Structures are given as C-alpha cells and as structure tokens.
Amino acid sequence: MIVDFLFFVLLLLLSFCNSCYEGERLFNLLQSIHREIKLARTIDGNSLPEKIWLKQQFSVGVNDVTRILERMAPCSELRSSSQLSPFISCNSRASSVKLQVVLVAGDCTPRWLIKHLPSLASSRKVPLIFVRDKKKGSLRLGELVNLKTAIAVGVKARKNTINKLLEKILRQDGVELDCPSPAETSDLCNIQEPDVKVDMSLTRPNSCSLEIKFY
C-alpha cells in the first residue's frame, strides 16, 4: 500500500511537469483532434481501410508507444553527434518513425504500467499529455482510434493537419520543441567531407567497425 501511495504521489508530481488536460480543456482538445483526423483522412483520399490508416497516424498502447520511443535517439545523442563529423549522424540507428506527442490516460491501473513513460518521453523531448476525465481517460483515448479503451496513444510526426494542430497547442502551452528534426539530421548527412575517409568492415552480423583515416 505504501509503495502504491508513493508511486501515486510521484505520478502526480510528474503530471505537473507535463501537460494535464481535464474538463472543458480536455473536451476542446479531443474535439479538435477528432476534427483534424477527419480532415487528414479526407485529404489522404480515404483509399486505405480506416483501421490501417489510423495505425499510420497513431501508436496505440503502452507497448507500441514504448517501442517507438526507445527506438528514437535521445536528444542529447542527436546534439552531440551533430557536433561531430556528419557521417556519424548519418549512421545513427534512430528509428525513422517519430512521435510528436504522447497522450496518457490518467485512470491507468495498475499505475506501474506507465511509470516509465514520463522519463522516456522526456529524454526524447516528446511532450506527455495526461488525460483525466473522472476515471474515463482511457475511454476518451480509445474514441480517438476507434477502440473501446486505450491507455496510451502516441501521435506520429507525419507533417499533417493533426500534427499542425498539436504543434500549435503545445506552443501555446509553452512546450519547447527543440530536438533536431529528421530533416535537420538528413541535411547533415548530405554535407561532404573530402578530407575524411571512412572504411567499414563487418565483424559479425548486425554490427560493424569503423576505421577513420585522415589525410
């Protein structure tokens, strides 16, 4: 009981460090997202089944959100690699799928299911929004992706109307979005380094060694 209480206090403190939506503020947020989902789907032409299309726009469930966040390079790594030779950034194993923001149901039980998300999202500079609606936060998130309930929903960065809406909301809330974008990272890969030669030789499956020669 004591451990559960301490974790609840910790989660409560973390929620103050992140955005927490409830009441009319939550209603307006979800209504806006629903509207942009319909608009984005119309723009895409409704060519795909809705279930597949939604999967392209959202990461649903704690496991899927965690998997994508773990594959995203921490912002500290991206900054340090961008200050080194550009070919190091180019060889980064960061996932091409990025999350713009993660919505988490405040009524999640047991709470340890989401205890890792605040620190994981923070290290990737992905804003976390707690959804509270009289213990129906999971129902509200489920409605976004046509499911009965959802504990966590990650919005994938696809430069669509949904992303533009959330970016506007996050900036209004004063959330800093200072992690290098995929475009910035790819720009680094296109820089030529004529004075550096890199030899790569496979040492074992799924690994490689780098030999850097300066002339």
Local confidence band at 170 (pLDDT 50, 70, 90 cut-offs): confident
The Cβ-side half-sphere exposure at 19, using a 13 Å CA radius, reads 21
From its phi and psi, is residue 51 left (phi > 0), alpha (psi between -120 and 50) or beta? alpha
Q: Using the structure block, give the residue that is written with the tokens 């950034």.
A: 89
User: Closest Cα partner for 140 from 46, 1, 21?
Assistant: 21
Token pair for residue 65? Answer: 């959100």
Q: pTM surpassing 0.85?
A: no
Mean pLDDT of the chain: 75
Helix (H, G, I), strand (E, B) or coil at 186: helix
User: Closest Cα partner for 69 from 30, 13, 127, 12?
Assistant: 127
User: Closest Cα partner for 109 from 135, 133, 77?
Assistant: 135
Local confidence band at 215 (pLDDT 50, 70, 90 cut-offs): very low
For strands 196-204 and 19-22, give the pairing: unpaired
User: What confidence tens digit (pLDDT) does each residue in 182-194 have?
Assistant: 444 344 334 343 3
User: What confidence tens digit (pLDDT) does each residue in 87-118 have?
Assistant: 444 444 556 899 999 999 998 888 899 999 99
User: Closest Cα partner for 139 from 14, 30, 41?
Assistant: 30
Please list the residues that pair with 58 across neighbouring strands: 155
Q: Which domains does the chain have, with CATH numbers?
A: 2-214 (3.30.1330.30)
pLDDT value of position 94: 55
Give every CB contact of residue 43 below 8 A, 6+ residues apart in sequence. Answer: 160, 161
Angle ∠(57,30,131) on CA atoms, nearest 5: 95
Please list the residues that pair with 19 across neighbouring strands: 129
CB 186 within 8 A of CB 192: no
